[in-house]
Structure formats: structure tokens, C-alpha cells
Amino acid sequence: MTIQGFKYAPPSISTTVGGKLTFKNADSAEHTATADTKSAFDSGTLNHGQSKAITFTKAGTFAYHCDFHPFMHGTVVVKPA
């Protein structure tokens, strides 16, 4: 999952329970990947070139955004294993 051009690419992605997604910031600005229900997941601040791997432990559809740029949105769909 790449963050570039003030967008998540791709904006929607699927994985299974136990699956891991890595968010990598390719922008010069700092970003986050923060679930709308913050307890679901939060990458923390990612500066240029930084990445964060997140392992998903629950099935569901999780909308997320950037705390710094709230117009940035995405969705992670986690399917049962």
C-alpha cells in the first residue's frame, strides 16, 4: 500500500485475518493510515520513506483516513481466514 500524491494506492484493498499490509509513505509530507474506529489500527506518523506493517486480527471492513489530511480516505476489507 503506497501513499503518494496525497492518495492511498490502491484506495481499497483486501486481506484475510492474520494478513499483513504495509503502508509506505512516498510523499514528502507526513501521513498516517488511521482507522475511522481508531482502535482497529493506526500506523502512527509516517515521514517520507517510512513504512509500517499492520497485521489484521479481525474480519470486517475498515474505513481509514490520514489524520493530517482528512480528505485522504481508503478501505481495508479483512476476510475470514
Q: What cell does 21 get?
A: 499490509
pTM of the complete model: 0.93
In this prediction, residue 80 carries a pLDDT of 97
Q: What cell does 46 get?
A: 509516517
Domain residue ranges of the chain, discontinuous segments joined by +: 2-79
What is the fold, at CATH topology level, of the domain defined by 2-79?
Immunoglobulin-like (2.60.40)
In this prediction, residue 1 carries a pLDDT of 94
For residue range 20-78, list pLDDT tens digits in order: 999 999 999 999 999 999 789 999 999 999 999 999 999 999 999 999 999 999 999 99
The DSSP code for 69 is -
